[in-house]
């Protein structure tokens, strides 16, 4: 669930079966007797036709027979249709009614934008802008999470190489931890120019560790370096030589990554 602000109104966006649904209830809250607008929109013949076409495109279980009956009635003075009736009669999935704290009427984004346009073309444009901004932020977070997961995978490759080549079986758990931390600091020194301890001393108010505050480019570089250090360890390269080589590689890779990022910004 997410919230976007459109012309001072908080609009809830939820995910249902990996599809985005936007609260129609939130859209009309600032309007006097706004909730009546949803049913008024639903009684419109053009709306019924639009909803039916959408359902036939995306909903295999849509009851087309019931839909035809509703469409023929639409426009008559005696025609009344609630969201609940629409869902129950046609087995529609484009519009849903949610109960609870964040309850109300929600519509798939395709239908929600159509409703917003019916309420106010200006409101629709602002809604589109804020919804797109939300999606861009989600993509950034997805990219960040993916890089973190990649770092975790390569971390295991790195620690396995340490275990197989640098840790004698006779060491205690505490001594083993020191070796792991020491090797992690080889990467920290090569990329960040400081150990984990030095970073904590410089940033006593921050929670987590140095890698939690790394940029995406730094995480990409770190992921590559973990793989390379594992190879160097397996090949028997001394730690001092590995540190020098990893630092050289870090400088080179960060330069390339930053250059690519700058080209994207210029575009």
What phi and psi values does residue 140 have, to the nearest 5 degrees?
A: -65, -45
Region of residue 215 (phi > 0: left; psi between -120 and 50: alpha; otherwise: beta): beta
- C-beta separation of 71 from 55 below 8 A: no
Residue 105 contacts residue 95 (beta carbons within 8 Å): yes
Average pLDDT of the segment spanning 82-99: 92
> 20 φ, ψ to 5°?
-85, 125
- Exposed, middle or buried, 126 (CB in 10 Å: 0-12/13-18/19+)? middle
> pLDDT, tens digit, for every residue of 111-146?
999 999 999 999 999 999 998 888 877 776 655 555
User: Within 10 Å of residue 215's Cβ, how many Cβ atoms?
Assistant: 14
Region of residue 206 (left: phi > 0; alpha: psi -120 to 50; beta: else)? beta
Two tokens, residue 7: 């012309």
Whether pTM exceeds 0.75: no
In this model, does residue 32 exceed pLDDT 70?
yes
| 152 has pLDDT over 90 | no
Instruction: Say which residue the tokens 């484009």 belong to.
Output: 94
Cα dihedral 204, 208, 209, 214 sign: negative
Q: Is the per-residue pLDDT at 2 higher than 50?
A: yes
Residue 61 has pLDDT above 70, yes or no: yes
């Amino acid at each position: 669930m997410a919230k976007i602000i459109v012309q001072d109104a908080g609009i809830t966006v939820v995910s249902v079966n990996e599809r985005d649904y936007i609260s129609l209830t939130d859209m009309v809250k600032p309007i006097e007797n706004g909730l009546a607008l949803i049913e008024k929109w639903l009684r419109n013949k053009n709306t019924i036709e639009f909803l039916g076409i959408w359902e036939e495109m995306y909903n295999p279980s849509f009851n087309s027979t019931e839909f035809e009956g509703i469409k023929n009635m639409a426009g008559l003075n005696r025609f009344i249709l609630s969201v609940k009736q629409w869902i129950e009669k046609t087995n529609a999935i484009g519009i849903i009614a949610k109960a609870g704290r964040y309850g109300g009427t929600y519509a798939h984004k395709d239908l929600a934008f159509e409703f917003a346009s019916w309420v106010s073309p200006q409101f629709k444009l602002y809604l589109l802008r804020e919804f797109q901004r939300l999606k861009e932020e989600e993509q950034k977070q997805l990219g960040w999470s993916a890089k973190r997961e990649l770092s975790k995978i390569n971390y295991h490759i790195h620690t396995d190489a340490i275990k197989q080549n640098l840790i004698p079986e006779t060491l205690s758990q505490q001594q083993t931890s020191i070796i792991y931390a020491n090797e992690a600091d080889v990467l920290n020194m090569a990329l960040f120019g400081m150990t984990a301890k030095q970073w904590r001393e410089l940033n006593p108010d921050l929670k987590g560790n140095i890698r939690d505050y790394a940029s995406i480019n730094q995480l990409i570089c770190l992921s590559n370096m973990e793989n390379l250090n594992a190879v160097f360890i397996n090949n028997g390269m001394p730690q001092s030589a590995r540190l020098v080589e990893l630092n050289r590689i870090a400088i080179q890779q960060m330069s390339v990554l930053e250059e690519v990022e700058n080209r994207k910004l210029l575009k």
